[in-house]
Each structure stands twice: as C-alpha cells, then as structure tokens.
Amino acid sequence: MENLQLIIPELFISIMIMFLLIFGVFKKNSSQLVYNLTTVSLVAALALIINLDTQIQSSLFNNSYNIDSLARFMKILLILSGIFVMLSSSKYIQISKISKIEYPILILCSILGMMVMISSNDLIVFYMGLELQSLALYVLASFNRDNLLSTESGLKYFVLSALSSGLLLYGCSLIYGFSETTNFNQIMINTKEIEYGLTFGIVFILVGLAFKISAVPFHMWAPDVYQGSPTSVTVFFALLPKIAALTVFIRFLYIPFYELGDQWQMIIIFLSIASMVFGAVAAIGQKNLKRLIAYSSISHMGYALAGLSTGTMQGVQSSITYITIYLVMNLAFFSCLFMLKRNDEYYENIDDLSGLSKNHPLLSLSLLVVLFSLAGIPPLAGFFAKFYIFVAVINEKMYFLAIVGLLATVIAAFYYLRIIKIIYFDPEKEKFESKHNLGLKFTLVTSTFFILAYFIYPSGIVDIISEININ
Amino acid sequence: MNFPILSSLILLPTIGALFIFFVRSSNSQYQSSKYVALFITLANFFLSLYLWIVFDKSIVDFQFVEEREWISGFVNYKVGVDGISILFILLTTFITPICVITVNATIKNRLKDFLIAILILETFMIGVFCSLDLVVFYLFFEAGLIPMFLIIGIWGGERRVYSAFKFFLYTLLGSVLMLVAIISIYWISGTTDVIKLYELGIDAKYQNLLWLAFFSSFAVKTPMWPVHTWLPDAHVEAPTAGSVLLAAILLKMAGYGFIRFSLGLFPDASLYFVPLVYTLSLIAIIYTSLVALMQEDMKKLIAYSSVAHMGFVTLGIFTMTQQGIEGSIFQMISHGLVSAALFLCVGVVYDRLHTRLINRYGGLVSIMPRYAIVFMVFTLGALGLPGTSGFIGELLVLMGAFKKNILVATIASLGVILGAAYMLWLYKRIIFGKLINEDVKKMVDLKRFEIVTLWLLVLPIIFFGFYPEPLINSIEVSVANIIDVNDLDKINKLALGE
C-alpha cells in the first residue's frame, strides 16, 4: 500500500474521470461546469505531483512503473501544458459548438495515458499508456463531427496510428522473444549480444514512436490532422503527446538499449536530419497557419531528436530543455491563433494576418516574438533551445548533423519571416475582435514573457533539468 | 569598478524603448516619445564620452570588466572595453542620436515603433562591441537582425520586402557557421571567455576551419565581394536612419570581429588566409568602385562605395602591421561618419524630390548653397582628401600594405583614384550642371535640424583629419597588444624568411 502513495496523481485523475463522467451524465447542461472542474482537477493533480517527495527514486509494481526525476519533471510539464491548453481554448470550444461533457473527459483520459507512458518501465505498461492516450486522441481529432475535415482527420489519424501501433507491438514481441522479458532493466541485462531479431525489434518500436512525434518519414498524418482537427485539439496534439513520446524515446533508448547505441544512433540521426530539413522546406508553401505549424513542429522534433542521437546524458538534457521551450512557444503561437476571431468565426489562414500590426499592435508583437523565437533568433528562448542541442551535438563531434541542423534553421527562418512580413509589411484588413477571456490572455502573456525574458536567467531551467538522471 | 557603466550603456536604450512602449500612444505624444528617445540616446552618448575620458589609454588590459554568471557553468556574461572597442561604442552612441533627429522628416507612420526599434538596435550594437565572451557576442550580433529587418521592412521603399529578406537570410546564413565554431571552441578550450582564450591560444590544427567559420559570418556582414549583394538592396530600400545605422555601425561589427576574433584567436590561420583576404579585398576595391561609377541611384552608389571602403578595411587588418590595423580602425570610424553623412545628404534631397536618381538632379548649388557645402565636405571625406579623416585611414592602410606587398598596395592605390572619380562625378552631376528640372528649382535649402545633424558630422570628419591623435592614441596600445600577444610580428618575420 505504501507504493500507492507514489501514484496518487494518477489515481486522482482516474477517479476524477469516473466522477466527472457520472456527474456530466446525470446533471443536464453541465458541459461548461465539467470543463472547469477538469481544469481544477488538473491543477490539483499538479499540486499532488509537486507535493511528492523529490528524493524518492522508486520502481513500483514489480519494477514496471518508474517514479524518478525524469518522470516527475515530464509529468509536471505535461500537466502544466494541459492546464494552459484548457485555459486558452475554453472560449474556442464554446463558439465552435463542441462544448460537450465528453471533451474534457477525453482530454483527461489522454493525459492519464501519457502519464502512464512517461513512467512506464515495461513494454506492456508503455503500450497500455500509449493506447489509452491514442484512443482518446482519435475521438478528439474528429470531435467536430459535422465538419468534413475534422472527421477526415480523425479517421486518418486512427488508421495510420493503428498501423504504427501494430508495428510497435510487433517490435515489442520481437524484443520479448529475444530477451525473454518485457521489463526495460531486464532487457538490458539479457541482451548483451546483438541479434538481428533484436535490431528489428528496436527499429519497429522506433518507427512506432517516430510516428507519435511525427518525425519524417512517419509524419504524413500530422499536417492533415493538425489542419482538420478543431484548433483546441490541434494545440493539444502539438504539445502533450510530444512530451510523452519523447520521454518514452529517452527511456527506451537509454535504459534497455543504451549498450546497443551504434544500432540505433544512425536511425535517430537520419530521423533527425530528415525531419529538420523536410519540415523546413515543406512549410514554405503553406497557406494555412495550422498546417504550417504542423510542418514547423515536424522540424522542431528533428532538433529534439538530434539531442537524443548523441547518446549522452547532456544530449538528453538538451532535448528536454528543447521540448520545454518548444511547448511554451507553441502555446504562445496557438494563443495568438485563438485571438483571430471575428463575428464568432475563427481565422486560420496566413493571409488573414495581413496588416495585423496596424489594428492589433500587442497581438502582433507577441506573434513577432514567438515567430522569431521559433526561428531561433537570439536573444529569444528559441535560440537557447537550439543552442543547448548544438552544444551537445558538437561535443560528440557530430559536425555534419550540427551544420545541417543550422542550415535548416536558415530555411525555416524564411517561412517564419514570411508570416512576419504579412503581419507587419502588408496592407491591413478588417479588425478582429479585441475582447478575449482572461485565461487566453493569461496564457499568451505568460508564454510570451517567458520567451522574451528567458535570456535574463537562462540557468533556471537548465539547473532543474540537469538534475534529471535516468537509472 | 563599482558602477556597472558598460551594462548601463547597454541597458539604457532598452529602458528607453520600454518607456516609450508603455506610454499610451496618441498623436500628440508622438513628439514627446521622440524627445524621450533623443534624451536617452544623448545620455548614452555622454555616458560613453565619460567612459572614454576615464578610460586609461596606456593600459593593455580590458577595462571596466564586468562578469556575472549567466548560463551556469558554461557561459558568463562578460563585458569590457579596450582602446579599440571604446571607439566603436563612441561611434554608435554618436550616430544614434543623429538618427533620432532625422526621423522627423523621413518617418511618416508608426514613429513610436521606429524609435523603439532604433533604441533596441542601439542596445545590441553596443553589446557587440563590448562583449568579452563569444556566446554573448554572438547573441548581440544576431539579435541586431530583428530590429534591422523590421526597419527595412516596415519603413522601407518599394522593394523593401525583398531587401529585408535578403538582408536577414544572407546574414543569418553566414552566422550559423560561426555558432558551430563558437561551440567547437568551447569544447576544444573549455571556455568561451575571450580573455582566457587569448591566454590559452587555440591549437593550430583547428584554427583554419574555425577561422573559415568566423570568416563566413564576418565576410557577409562586412560585406566582402562576392557576398556583398545584399548591401546595395538593403541600403536603397531602408529609410534614411536605417541606411545610416547600417552603413555606420552594423558593417563595422564585422571589421571589429575580424580584429578581435579572427586575428586575436586564430593568428596562424589568419596568416594562412592572407592571400585569400587580399584577393577578395582588392576585387572589392577595384570591382565595386567600377560598379559604383555606373550607378544611377545615389544610395546604390554610396552603398557600393561602402563595399570598396570596407575592402580597404579588410586589407588593412590582414596586413597585420601596426599601421595597417590602426589604419583599418581609423578607416572604419571615418567611414562610419562619412557614409552616415552621405546617406543623410541623400535623405535630404530625397525628402524634397522623392527620387534618388542622379539625373533628376543637377545645379543644386544655385538653390541649395548650404547643402552644397556640407555635401562637398563629405564627398572629399569619402574620397580621402588630406585634411579629412578619410585620408588618414587610407594612408595608414596603404602604408601597412606597402610594408607587406607592393603589388597589393599598388592595386589598392588605384582604388583611391577610382574612389575620387565616382565621388567627384556624383558631386558634379548633382550639385553642378544646369538647373533644368522644374521640380528641382522649387527645392528649399537645409532646414535647421538638418543643418545641426550634418554639421555635427562635418566637425569630427575635419577635426580628426587634421588631428588624428586622440583616436590613434586610444587604439595604439591595444593594437600593439594584439600584434604582440599573438606574436604576429614573429610569425610575420618567419613568413618573410628573416
């Protein structure tokens, strides 16, 4: 029973899911209330996680569930992002008429699945978490069921994701076959020799994971799903699953197969370079902001993978820093997107931004900051994210990766600049509404301030992350 | 040193910008935000002047050094000045208020935003010149792109979008390799602190590649032939104040970088690449001078002349002699003043006639005599007439070059003649000749604020032309130190076989 204390946050969220489901079904017209209660329960879960003893490093349930510094940090990140997503999108779901009780509950389910993924130390536990989060996401993607694009994106995501889950499961079974265990630590002990079956297993699992973080060449679903889903779901897609999948990436590569680094390193480098370059090039021609941000996040995942490919603790930490800053930047970007509203209609084409700076100077300034930061221009936070990655990469003398990555930033800078050009240099259009709810404003201000002021005290986050240790 | 004077220099403009940003805008307050900006920039100028006065010119070491932990265990925020950087800081703080004064006539919309951009840019420019850590330097160096991109893009001319993009992407492309080099230096030497790196030195086997990475960034920024093509576009489209800042200060960042980092950190590699730099510099001097001769657009002509002048600068730096480097620094300061002045002059007539085509003008001397006088001084300054600051710089550079390579020096001297040709011809076509155009006849002579700004620039150009001592005095020890510390003399002698 002592162990259960350590998974109180997970237990709490599970109980809340059940409670809210019953509550929502029996109380009429309670969708907004359930939504708010969900936000509150996320805050409570955050408090519970922070409240856990930081010193504890323990493995529960027959060593299949890890509570360590990595899990703790990633869970805090996850739930914080969840809270901000909920805060910023509350108005959107009302106006888009998708405010149903199922919506926040599905989000909670998905978050619970991700928490399980983050802590998993066992192939089966990991797969369970993955499926829990994916199933919720399929429904969320097609939540706007009267919209053709939304249903299409849900179906597309479902079919492709099922395929990748199948591959992943096949990889798991191969690894089980060759190592006689599903536990990560045991796998490490049992696999001293390299066997083909094992390598295939690793590759299949990496394919499945690469699909989840939409790394090239497993990215095809991302642009369509990003564009088709309701924006409130897109922001969820852009942030939370990435955290969970990256954590699994870290655990999977650095615990069971750390010794087999030369087996997977080339794969990760390839995924990384392909994502960075493809994401940067493909985004140039986009006209829809959500589609563009999908390609941009493909590119960003390439950088996060570059950190992982080093095979060093420093690389892992740089990836975690990268994903943290990436989250904030995307949150700020989507908050701006939520503000492009006129007569209860949301606008999401790049052309709609034309001349925004004349009518909405503050909103344009935030977008300017966010876009320059996404492009990685100093002194904004995005630069530091890339900087840490390249410090780790160059330390391992992987100059090719570093130079390709930096050249990709120049290509990427082009399309970010194009948006800035449209905002600042082009003739103005009709005004958007300037009244927004408090949560949205709060999200935008906090995230923009973080991006702008990051350079004043960059050590803060780095110090926290440098304490993260696997094993 | 208790009072963080350099950090105040860096931060003051940003504080001013924040102040302007947070004051609610209404049309009546446009003027007041201008006064705030002027006040802040002037305060910064006097602060840097004070810095120059208390600065001990006889000491080799960096002075007013401030160090604070920044990225823990990795990079420290470290700033300090020596005799070279202090001059560039002074130049920056001198030119910025002049730019602020000129906004009156040139900027019609979004004045507040423009002032904010200029103030932020000043922060970054000063930061570049006093940072003593490679990462901090890179940060400021790159950050300057953001305000400049906006200045060209928002307030620029017809092809501003193209120019802004070209400017941004060219410079960014050049700089990313420098970032790789900086991080590599960290892993090779264990620090990015410039002072420590001077002491440690960098292993010769890495120097060539690192040098090339830095070169790719500085060459684009200088700009050297053949990566100079962004400059004419950027200059032509930028508003007057933007052109002034670009020509006077942003280009100097690269020259400063060459001295501080390329020579300072990689002496062996610098020596190895001397032929490359000589060749590119000579092509820049001769080729762009010829191109300048053919220009029909005034700003483009001056932009190409900048490339030629910067050719002298790079040539002088890589002679690696006391005279050559001093000459380069002097040339940079002088060019900072002269090119700023020339762009202001173009701005003056552009505001009246709204064209920069040379053949639309002619005969201005009879209707704008005051303008003709100041323009003459700047023309002569640009072509390096004795008695103007331009002469001292070119003379010293050529002296340094003659010491090393007579052929190179001779070809470079040809550039001086070409420089005289295009500048005088420009002057002739604009100021003299027949007054044919009806519009030109209606032009009015200089207004009061134009007189102030232009004469403020005339004074130092002539003063330093006759009495270069204060500047030379300030850089002498530091330049000697750079040559000394890296045994450039010894290497030179070895190379000459003595």
Q: Do A462 and B177 lie within an 8 Å CB cutoff?
A: no
Given CB atoms, is A417 within the 8 Å cutoff of chain B? yes
Residue A346 DSSP class: E
A-proximal residues of B, 114-143, CB under 8 Å: 135, 138-140, 142-143
A421 touching B, CB under 8 A?
A: yes
Considering only CB atoms, which chain B residues are within 8 Å of A379?
A: 139, 143
- Cα(A114)–Cα(A111) distance, integer angstroms: 5
Q: Among candidates A411, A127, A362, which has minimal Cα distance to A244? A: A127
From A76, A153, A87, select the one nearest A111 (Cα to Cα).
Answer: A76
How far is residue A22's CA from residue A30's CA, in Å, rounded to a whole number? Answer: 11
Chain B residue with CA closest to A372: the answer is B146
**CA A9/CA A5 separation, integer angstroms:** 9
Alpha helix (H) ranges present in B202-320? Answer: 204-221, 230-237, 240-245, 251-257, 264-265, 267-272, 274-293, 298-317
Residue-level pLDDT at B21: 83
Interface-testing mutation among A384, A391, A395, with chain B (most B C-beta atoms within 10 A):
A391
CA dist list (Å): B83 to B61, B62, B197, B210, B474:
9, 8, 19, 26, 5
**pLDDT number for residue A18:** 93
Residue with tokens 């790079």: B314
Chain B residues with CB inside 8 Å of A387's CB? 135, 179, 183
Window 174-203 of B, Cβ < 8 Å to A:
176-177, 179-180, 183-184, 186-187
Residue B195 backbone phi and psi in degrees, to 5 = -65, -45
Distances (CA, A) of B381 to B214, B453, B459: 31, 16, 12
Do the beta carbons of residue B426 and residue B379 sit within 8 Å?
yes
Q: Which of B11, B14, B71 to mutate to test the interface with A (most CBs of A within 10 A)?
A: B71
Rounded to an integer, what distance in angstroms lies between the CA atom of residue B10 and that of residue B2? Answer: 16
Helix (H) or strand (E) holding A58: strand A58-60
Per-residue model confidence as pLDDT tens digits over B351-382: 888 888 888 887 788 888 888 888 888 998 88
The single-letter DSSP state of residue A433 is: P
CA distance A190 to A311: 20
Q: How many CA atoms lie within 13 A of A162 on its CB side?
A: 7
| Cα–Cα distance for residue pair B487/B382, rounded to 1 Å | 34
Q: What are B230's two structure tokens?
A: 């962004």
A399 contacts in chain B (CB < 8 Å)? 180, 184
> Do residues A323 and A297 lie in contact, with contact meaning Cβ atoms separated by under 8 Å?
no
> What is d(CA A360, CA A382) in angstroms, rounded to the nearest whole number?
24
N-terminal to C-terminal alpha carbon distance within chain B = 45
Distance from CA of A290 to the nearest CA of B (A): 23
Query: Regarding beta strands A345-346 and A341-342, do their DSSP bridges make them parallel or antiparallel, or are they unpaired?
Result: antiparallel
The angle at the Cα of B272, spanning B268 to B275, to the nearest 5 degrees, equals 145
Contact A403 B180 (CB under 8 A): yes
| A62 interfaces chain B, CB cutoff of 8 Å | no
DSSP character for A35? H
Q: Quote the distance between the C-alpha of residue B375 and its chain's center.
A: 20
* Burial bucket for residue B14 (CB in 10 Å: 0-12, 13-18, 19+): middle
Residue A110 burial (C-beta neighbours within 10 Å; 0-12, 13-18, 19+): buried
Cβ-defined contact of B180 to A399 (cutoff 8 Å): yes
Assess contact for A244 and A118: CB atoms under 8 A.
yes
* CB distance A423 to A353 below 8 Å: yes
Residue B156 · residue B163 · CB < 8 Å: yes
Cβ proximity of A129 and A113 under 8 Å: yes
B145 interfaces chain A, CB cutoff of 8 Å = yes
B176 and A406 in contact by Cβ < 8 A? yes
> Which residues lie below 8 Å from residue A374, measured CB to CB, with a gap of 6+?
A296, A300, A329, A333, A382, A412, A416
Yes or no, beta carbons of B139 and A455 under 8 Å apart: yes
**Using CB atoms, which residue from B146, B149, B179 is nearest to A406?**
B179
Residue of A nearest to B187 (CA): A395
Is A391 in contact with B142 (CB distance < 8 Å)? no
Q: Which of A70, A397, A396 is CA-nearest to residue A255?
A: A70
Q: Which of A391, A394, A425 sits opposite B153 (nearest CB)?
A: A425
The pLDDT of residue B2 is 65
A387 touches chain B (CB under 8 A): yes
A297 near A331, Cβ under 8 Å?
Answer: no
Give the span between the Cα atoms of B204 and B189, in whole angstroms: 12
Closest alpha carbon within chain A to B72 = A459
Q: What's the pTM?
A: 0.91
Residues in CB range of A466: below 8 A, 6 or more apart: A317
User: How many C-beta atoms lie closer than 10 Å to residue B57's C-beta?
Assistant: 16
Alpha-carbon distances of B344 from A367, B33, B75, B198, rounded to whole Å: 33, 22, 40, 40
Three-state DSSP state, A342: strand
Look up residue A296 and give its two tokens.
């941009």
Could you write out the DSSP letters of every residue in B59-79?
A: --S-EEEEEEEEETTTEEEEE
Mutate one of B176, B177, B210 to test the A interface: name it (highest A CB count within 10 A).
Answer: B176
Closest to B245 (Cα-Cα) out of B98, B395, B407, B443? B98
Amino acid letter, A431? K
Is the Cβ–Cβ distance between B43 and B12 less than 8 Å?
Answer: yes
**Does B208 reach chain A within 8 Å, measured CB to CB?**
no
Chain B within 8 Å of A285 (Cβ-Cβ)?
A: no
Count of alpha carbons within 13 Å of B396, Cβ hemisphere only? 27
State the DSSP string of A361-379.
HHHHHHHHHHHHHHHT-TT
In this structure, which amino acid lies at residue A428? Answer: E
> Which DSSP string corresponds to B383-405?
HT-TTSHHHHHHHHHHHHHHHH-
Coil, helix or strand for A67? strand
B450 contact partners, CB below 8 Å, separation of at least 6: B105, B344, B348
Closest CA to A377 of A354, A410, A330, A329: A410
Q: What is the pLDDT of residue B498?
A: 44
The list of chain B residues with pLDDT below 70 reads 1-2, 24-30, 105, 485-498
φ, ψ for residue B266, nearest 5 deg: -125, 65
Which residues of chain A fall below pLDDT 70? 1-2, 471
**B319 and B495 Cβ atoms separated by less than 8 Å:** no
| Axis-axis angle for helices A438-453, A381-395 (nearest 10) | 50
User: Which pLDDT score is estimated for B491?
Assistant: 57
Q: Which residues are B78's β-sheet partners? A: B67
Please name the member of B143, B153, B177 whose beta carbon is closest to the beta carbon of A424.
B153
Predicted-complex ipTM score: 0.89
Which positions ≥6 away from A126 have C-beta within 8 Å? A116, A117, A120, A248, A252
pLDDT at res. B372: 87
Contact B186 A391 (CB under 8 A): yes
